[in-house]
Amino acid sequence: MRAFIASSIGVICAAVLVLPLAVPAGAAPDTPAVPAESVEPPDVPGSTQSLPLTPLPVPSGRATGEPTRTAEAAEQGLPEHGVRPFSLVGVVWDDVDTELRGTVQVRTRAIGTTRWSDWQDLETHNAEHAADLGTAERESGTVRGSTAPLWVGDSDGVAARVFPDSTDPQDRNAPAVPLPTGLRVELVDPGKDPQPLPAAGAGAGETGDDRTTPLDGLVLPALSKAETEARSEAEAGLASGAQPYIGPRPRIITRMGWGADEKLREDAFVYTKSVKAAFIHHSATGNNYKCTQAASVLRGIYRYHVKSSGWRDIGYNFVVDKCGSIYEGRAGGVTKAVLGAHTLGFNSNSSGIAVLGTFTDSKPPAAAVNAIAKLTAWKLGLSGANPQGKTTLVSGGGNKFKKGKKVKLNVISGHRDGFATECPGERLYEKLGSARTSSAHLQGR
């Protein structure tokens, strides 16, 4: 079913396994490079290094910034090590149905320096961004538990630590919750950028050409509302003569445009009946990226979802960066109802839109919120959905609604509306009301 090469499992021995892996420039002599489990074919751009975590020694005292420790806490981690260059990091484990109850932290070293970052938390509750229970993707046997990945920029050193929660938070001597088996840190190199994209507003498709094919394969050009309405019947199968209530198609950077390697994902596409709702997410990958790096961040997430988490493709249907650029996500056609893996229990008949960044405390840029409005006005309009309306979806199962329950939701909902999670972050969630209003206005409602 899956079209990717299985990782070979490294054997951890008392002796160090030596592979032809050079220590990167700037690596200290006491931080030797670590052999990676994943072996990448030579024709695949980018790479994934998979490094096992092992039990950490119990320290004599509690270091600054460490979570409160419980008695006999079976902590795991990876000491500071030099590795091949990477830009995105996450932690995975064997059983997708096992929750990691604890704190996961990483620190990294920027390439060409001896400077290590502070410890940074990874979002551990990533199971809610996944394929629905009982689907072929979920039951493929390749899916793993995973944290959200974190974008750290060009790095060649990593350390990780995992602290389990206590079974009784009120008792410091209570035993720790067991950690999942097979914990390992995943280091993703997204590979080089493809050819530069045409600037927004450039190209024939944005100066009067009404074609619907991508501009040189890289960008699906924006269309006016009139042009979009004229094509709505052919693109989305809308009833002839019906009032379309559809927003103008925004400029969308295609998978080719952001450099998606189509050899990584599964070949087949899976569709649902319609797109009745859009779920808004944040990627929880941090805000320390430049807009010129957004394609790299996206390639990193794509590779992490497929190679590290074991999904068939990137989970989101669309992605928006903090400068307002819109990207095609999961393959299968931007006008179609592609089944994603973004909102556990509600992937069917919905579209998942993720904003690159973390918006728990940080305010989302206006450009990103505006992009959500533009994208939903068009995408929801293809199915005749009102951005300010309500819709009913049937839950596929999750921690908030049992399987089979009919749930009334906003047509534009936050991830937390369908699953008990902080996503899309409080600051982004509070902007969804204005996005609904703008989206409906763009549809002509």
Q: How confident is the model at residue 7 (pLDDT cuts 50, 70, 90)?
A: very low
Mean pLDDT of the chain: 84
Q: How far apart are CA 341 and CA 93, in angstroms?
A: 18
* pLDDT exceeds 90 at position 428: yes
Q: What is the pLDDT of residue 115?
A: 92
The SS3 of residue 163 is strand
For residue 332, give the nearest of 345, 305, 358, 314 by alpha carbon.
Answer: 314
Q: What is the pLDDT of residue 231?
A: 80
The DSSP call for residue 426 is: H
Tokens (6 digits) for 18: 């030596």
Give the least confident one: 38-42, 220-224, 228-232, 424-428: 38-42
Identify the weakest region by mean pLDDT among 19-23, 87-91, 280-284.
19-23
Predicted local distance difference test score (pLDDT) of residue 172? 74
Over the stretch 98-110, which tens digit does the pLDDT of each residue have? 999 999 999 999 9
Strands 350-355 and 318-320, how do they pair?
A: parallel
CATH of domain 204-443: 3.40.80.10
Report the CATH number of the 47-189 domain.
Answer: 2.60.120
Structural tokens at position 25: 């420039």
| Mean of pLDDT values over 328-332 | 97
pLDDT at 36 over 80: no
**8 Å CB contact between 76 and 183:** yes
Q: Which two tokens stand for residue 9?
A: 């499992």
Q: Model confidence over 126-167: pLDDT tens digits?
A: 666 678 788 889 888 889 999 999 999 999 999 999 999 988
Residue 237's pLDDT band (cuts 50, 70, 90): low
- Is 9 a residue whose pLDDT tops 90? no
Assign 417 to helix, strand or coil: helix
CA distance 324 to 329: 15
Q: Is the peptide bond before 424 cis (omega within 30 degrees of 0)?
A: yes
Residue 394, pLDDT > 50, answer: yes
Report the alpha-carbon distance of residue 341 to residue 348 in Å, rounded: 9
Contact 368, 321 (CB under 8 A): yes
Give the pLDDT band (50/70/90) at residue 62: low
Q: Per-residue confidence at 396, pLDDT binned at 50, 70, 90?
A: confident
Domain ranges for the chain: 47-189, 204-443
Mean pLDDT along residues 255-280: 95
